[in-house]
Structure formats: C-alpha cells, structure tokens
Structure 1
Amino acid sequence: MNNLIVFPIEVNGKELNFILDSGVGATILFNINTKDSLQLNNVKKIKLKGLGSEEAIDAILSKNNRFSFKNIVSQNQNLYVVFDDSFDLSSKLGLTIHGIIGYEILKDFVIKINYNLKKVTFYKPESYNYKKCKKCETFNLELYKLKPYINIGAKLDPLTNEITPVKLLIDSGGSDAMWLFENTHPNIVVPKKFFIDFLGEGLSGTIHGKRAFIKGLVLGKFELRNPTVSFPDSISIANALQFKSRNGSIGASILKRFIVIFDYKNEIITLRKGTSFKEPFRYNMSGIELAYNGKLLVKEQDYSNIVLSNKEEGVMKSSVVLNYNYKYTFKPTYKIFKLREGSPAYRAGLQENDIVIKINGKYTYNLKLEEIVEKFYQKENKKIKLVIERNGKDYEYQFELENMLK
C-alpha cells in the first residue's frame, strides 16, 4: 500500500505488522490495544518528538524485548510505545499497522528490496557477495542518529541543467517522492507553480506544505525527470532541521523505481533500475484523503449453494432456475478525513467526514482502500462520480481530476 513495505514480526511471542521505515532510528509501536495482549519488559515513561506542528507526546520505552521474523531472532531489543490515537496509520492504509521499524533490523542484514515483485530478502552481511553489475550504481551512506543519508543532485532551475548537490534522508516509510527544505541551500526555492497540500501525519501532528514539480533528480548515472516534490512548512520539520546539512528526503515513490540494496555494515546503498523507472510521477489530483471508517453489515446474495435446474418431470426446459439465499457480511467503509481547499472535490461540494458509498458506479465496500485512492492519481480530466453519505442521507457528486501544476 502506498509503496510501503509491511511485514510481520513477533514481539515477545506476539505477531505484529510493521512498516520497514529507514527514516526512523528507533522501533515504535503505536496501535496496541487490550486484545493484542503484548508483554512489555523494563518500561519507563518518556516524551517523544517527531515531525508535525504539535508538542512532544507521551510514550513508554521498553527494553530487553525479543523480536523474531521467520528464522531470524534478535534479543535485547528496545522499542517505544505511543498511545496517542491521533497517530493512526492503520486507518490511512486500510490494514492493521502496529508499528515502524528501521535501524534495528537494517543494521544486522544486507536487505534487498524488489518493489515490483513485492519481495524483501535478508542476507547475512558476512556471506553476501556483490556481483559485478554494470547497470547498478552504489552510493555511500552517512548514518546520522541511526538514519541513512545520501548525497545526490537535483535539477531545480527549469531553464538550465544546473545540478544542485543535496543531502537527503532515505525514508522508505514515507510514500511521497521527495521533500526539500527551504532555506537549507540558496537554490532550494519553491517553484512558481505549487499548491498547499496535506503531506502526512508525524508523531507530533499533521504536516502541511507546498507541492510542486522539479526538473529532475540525479542519482549517479540515473536521472528521474519531473519528480513531484513537497516543501513542508518549517514548524512541522523543526525536529528534522537539527541536522544542519540535511536538505530533505527521498521516499518510497522514488525508491520503488529501483531494486534497492541496503548495506548498513559497509555504509552503502546500491540501486538498479526497476521496471517502473520511467513511470511518470503523479499526485492526488482530487484533493481527497480517504481513511478506513469501520465496518458495515451488508446483505448479499449467497451463490455458494446455487442449484441449477433445467429439467422438469423428465422433460428438458430451456430456462434455468437459480435457487439462492442471502448472507450478511461485514464490509469496510471509508470516509474523507482530509479535503484540500480549492481542489476539484472541494469545489464540487464534498466535505470532510463524508462517507464514500460508491465511486464511478462501484460500491466502495467491495474495493480495497488502495484501489479507490489509485483512481485519484489517474490522468487529468478523468471524471470521478461519488455517492456519499452525510448525516444519514445519500448525495451524488461529480468532478474532474485537475492538474494544478500546469
């Protein structure tokens, strides 16, 4: 979902779903409830500060925990537990996410990620052999506070091919292509064409900023043309700016275009073009951010016990009789949790907290969240028809996707 890597890890014997997030040094749990029955060892209360415009939040530090993943076992692991309900990735992604893990697993293995095959392979560093690869490019990593940074180039001036050197955090847990921080380099300025957008949620609240395109991103011999870039507001990234030489980050929308090999032991990362390398960069042109909104009991025809009959008293008939029953099934519902002001959906009259019942004639409860969101990234002028529920009544809306960066 959103090009993010989700996999199960057992924590003290309890299986939980984690996002592989190279942008975090600490392992963080944030969706634990009573039914998870997780045992935490050696705990103490602390404060955590992350991206977002709000204050530090209450958390628990737990030490000496046991992590296991298939035949991989790691003892004495530290983790942080956040109980703030507002930081809820599960509803945004449409599947249960219990936490994020980065350095604690990346430091012990060479990890190869093939986004197209949705495959992650773990290798022991001492036994991993690098093959000669003329189509690959290897970069040095700088590990600062347990997070990986890469030095690459950005084409920021639309009228020239000047390459500006930038130091970027490699953030596999961020679904955007690229963030750049204003005022960290004289050439890093917001392009003339931009719009204000919701960029995501951090530990310390909502992140807003400006969204635009730049001319290109240069990674050695690879060049990505016209990537989307976000310029987060300075309040939201105050914590990130503590690393003075950092200019921004690259996220999963960049990484998914490569086969990626992380090697923390040797402090290098290797990239090879993937099959989606030349895919155009897109963004959500609807202005709608959807979230999971609980389950709905839906009445459906049950075809599992259908009886087909084309015979009556030994005589063949031309008709077929279907005998079926009904069944009731819990299905997912989705709501608009953010709506970009001035966007096509906003101008059409949609509102935050509207429950989306249908999209382009299809009931949303038969679709995954990812399948719905993908429709907002289609080509410009694509028509979107929605049936929504608001205050117990159904309403129909229609709008066209609009490229606000032309």
Structure 2
Amino acid sequence: MLTKYEPVILFSIRKLAICAGLFLMCLHSFAQEFTFSGKKQRQSIQFRCIKNLIIIPVYVNDKGPYDFVLDTGVGPMIITEPSIIDTLNFNLMRKIRLSGLGLETVDAYVSQNVEARIGRAKIKHIPTAILKEDLFNLSGHLGVKIYGLIGYSFFNSFIVDIRYSENRIIFSDLDSHVKYRGSKVPITIENLKPYVDVEVEIPDSGKISTRFLMDTGASHALSMEMLNGAAFPLPEKRIKANLGMSLSGQIKGYVGRVKTFHLGKYAFSDVVAGFPDFESISKKIDLSFRNGNLGAEILRKFDVQFNYQEKFMYLKPNNFAKVPFQHDMVGMVVYLDQDQYKRVIIGEIDEGSPAEKAGLCPNDQIIGVNFKSIDAYSLNDLTEMFKSKADRVVIFEVFRDNQVLFKVVRLEKRI
C-alpha cells in the first residue's frame, strides 16, 4: 500500500504532464520571458547535481532561494510546496486536471500571478501549476528539500550552457555573442519540450531512426517507450523491475541494455535502458511526439548548450563521457522520510535481487552502512555505491520491528 512517503518513481523521476491545452492557452497572454535587469547579458551560477539532476536556487515572489529541479521535461513551472506562496486561496484559483506516467489524474491549480527569479534574471506571470502536496516526493527521493520544477520559460529565454563537468550553468541573452563548443545537433520544440532525432540498434531490426524527449529531469539514461505504435523489442538479457510507483500501484517493466545509441556524431554502447509496460504508459502519456525519453545519465556526459529559439544544441564530451553505464546492483530504492527525523527507508525491492536474497524488506530503516552511521552518507552516495562494482559486499544495519539486524548484500551485475 502506497504511503505518502513512498517514492513516486524508482528508476527515474517523471513529471506530471499538463494534459489540458486550455491551461497553456489561458496563460499565453500573461506569459513573459526571463530578462536581465540593466545591461546585464550573461550570468553564471553553480548548481548541485544529485542523482544526475540539476538543482538550482530559485526566488519565488521575491522570497527564497528555494531549490528547484531545472528540467527540460516540463513546460509550465510546477510548484510542489505551496507554502512558499503567500495568501494562496485555492478556492479562487483555476483548477485543472493533471496526469502523467505513474500517476492517476489529480487536481492542480493555475496561478497567473507568480514571479520567479534565477540569478539576476526575472520573469513576471510565469505559467505555473501548483500542487497542494508533493506528489512526486522529490525531496524524499533526492534527500534535499525540493520546492518545484522549472523548465521551458527559462530555456526559451536564453542560450543555456549546462556544464555538467563544472556543475555550472551560463545563461546568455539571445542576442548576445556566444561561442559554441563541440558538435551541433538539431532539436525540435513540441508542446514546450525539446526532442532530438537519434539512432538506436535493436534486436532483429539493426539501426533505426527514432525521436526522444531530452529530459534533464530524468535521472536515467534511456526509457524505451514506443516503436511503430507498439512496445520496443526487449533485449535478450533483461530483468524485471519496478520502474515506477503510481497512486494506485506499481508500473512494471524491464531493465536491459541497448547495444548502440547514436546522438549526433557520438555513439554509446551497452546503454542501460528501461522498458516500461507499453499498455500502462500508452494510457498515461502522449507518445505521439516521441519513441522514448533521453535522460540525464546520457546528457551529463556532455557540456550542453541549448538554443531553443534557433532549434539546435551543441554537445561537447566531458570527463564523464567514457564512464560506463551501470545499473543498480542492489535492486532496491531508498528514500528519506522527511517527517520522521530524516530516516532513510527502504522502498520497493526488485524480485530476485541481491537485496531480496539478503533478507532486506520494504519499510526497513537503514541506520548504518559498512559499520558507519547512515548520517555519514547522502542518498546520492548510496546510489553511487549501489552501482559501483560487482561482487562488492555492502553490510546494512537496519531497524525492523524494534530490532537491529545486520544484512550482507553482495552487489550483482544482473544485465
């Protein structure tokens, strides 16, 4: 049974999709662009990279800063913590229906009176959807307090240079002189989101052309969602996995590897990919624009310059480019229970995984790892440890039913 603290997404973070086009049309006349004050044309800010996601400080209505995910996969800004906006009266706000992979349709509220500021760049009347509660559980998943997601309005206002190698973003006015670095790749903007044409090699079909959503707000490498109106062919070597959690249950699927993946002139081999159940996702999200989702596990291998207005990006490989793709070798998700003294809790456990074999259980509280207090680790540290090396032994100290137990897990490369 899903509690309010269980992670909404296990394999990656997915967003609610604004399913009412009316919402965007209603706000179009109010929407503006981010602009710098004075003669400022360019700014550089640092970001934190947690589980491949970009966390930036955002001021909302001149208050903050609040940590937001910078996310090419969202159109309107989404606020997941409504307390940051004063004098909210939901009864006076327009209510819309939202849906997305892993979530049943839920209510959200539209505001036409939200200002946002990133660095010295400000926007008035930014299209905003406000949730009454954090249905994503982003804070629990990332281990830091997250207040929302911001995407299209920022990327559409500037030339945005994401330097994953430096944890830095440089954003420049559209008419300023920018030196592009690397290789130019065309992109398409549909429904406020960027798409790129790529080639993938799949069983029995060889290399095929596909279109993927570029999603800095998804921590995975690839999600293979649809091919020729049906499911992607599954790789021969695969494991069953819980790819996500909805308000009414799990999203099932498989994790395997894509033999080759071509992005522009760059090629990657043995890419870890999720293959969600097609029947489930085709009812939840609009797949008419895409075959899949290209996440930050691939994007972070480049320093990326986005130019939405002219519909291209530049990719320059960085020091992450040659790091091999690894899947979680423990087979479980852990999350931070924000309301219970920041306890680290085990969520879903994959069937037949090393975690299940070791006797770990959902809802176990992790109080130590390798004889160190859990306080010595961030969730990001644990994620990297779980993908680190096959046959590595990890000793968990857990609290269950008023008992302290030790469980020994041997990491296993399952795909």
TM-score (norm 2): 0.82
**Contact 2:187 2:311 survives alignment (8 Å):** yes
1:359 maps to 369
Q: 1:216 aligns with which of 248, 257, 260?
A: 260
> Could you say which residue in structure 2 is the equivalent of 1:150?
196
Secondary structure in 2 matching 1:242 = coil
Cα deviation digits, residues 293-326 of structure 1 (max 9, x gap): 2488xxxxxxxxxxxxxxxxxxxxxxxxxxxxxx
Q: Which residue of 2 aligns with 1:403?
A: 413
- Tell whether the 8 Å contact from 1:25 to 1:104 is kept in structure 2 after alignment: yes
The equivalent position to 2:187 in structure 1, one of 127, 132, 141, is 141
Structure-2 residue corresponding to 1:369? 379
The Cα shift of 1:173 comes to 0.1
* Residues 27, 101 of structure 1: 8 Å contact kept: yes
- Residue 102 of structure 1 is matched in structure 2 by 151
Partners of 1:113 and 1:119 within 8 A in 2: yes
Q: Is the 8 A contact 2:61 2:85 kept in 1?
A: no
Q: Could you say what secondary structure the match of 2:297 adopts? A: helix
- Runs of 4+ off more than 4 Å: 39-42, 201-206
The 8 Å contact of residues 60 and 85 in structure 2, kept in 1 or not, is answered as no
Task: Output the amino acid matched with 1:231.
Answer: F
C-alpha separation in 2, matches of 1:125 and 1:21: 20
Matched, 1:265 2:327: no
Number of corresponding residues: 363
**Hey, what does 1:27 align to over in structure 2?**
77
Q: Helix, strand or coil: the match of 1:184?
A: coil
**Alpha-carbon distance between aligned partners in 1 of 2:63 and 2:251, rounded to the nearest angstrom:** 32
User: What secondary structure sits across from 2:141 in the alignment?
Assistant: helix
In 2, the alpha carbon distance for the partners of 1:82 and 1:234 equals 27
In the alignment, which of 126, 135, 138 is matched to residue 89 of structure 1? 138
What is the aligned counterpart of 2:121 among 48, 57, 72? 72
User: Is the 2:226–2:287 Cα contact (8 Å) retained in structure 1?
Assistant: no
- Between structure 1 and structure 2, the one with the greater Rg is 1
Identity across aligned pairs (percent)?
Answer: 30
C-alpha contact 2:241 2:350 (8 A) present in aligned 1: yes
Spell out the pairing of 1:243-262 with structure 2 (5 A cutoff). Answer: 243-262=287-306
Which residue number in structure 2 is paired with residue 348 of structure 1? 358
Q: Which has the higher strand share?
A: 1
Q: CA deviation at 1:128?
A: 3.2
Match of 2:94 among 18, 26, 44: 44
Q: Distance in 1 between matches of 2:286 and 2:234?
A: 21
From the superposition, tell whether residues 21 and 401 of structure 1 become closer, same or farther in structure 2 (CA, over 3 Å): same
CA distance in 1, matches of 2:230, 2:101: 24
CA distance in 2, matches of 1:241, 1:355: 34
Contact 1:292–1:334 (CA under 8 A) maintained in structure 2: yes
TM-score by length of 1: 0.84
Structure 2, gaps ≥5 residues long: 1-49
Distance in 2 between residues matched to 1:281 and 1:109, nearest whole Å: 31
Distance 1:401 1:189 in 2: 28
1:163 maps to which of 207, 220, 227: 207
Change (3 A) 1:397 1:212: same
Relative contact order, higher structure (CA 8 A, sep 6+) = 2
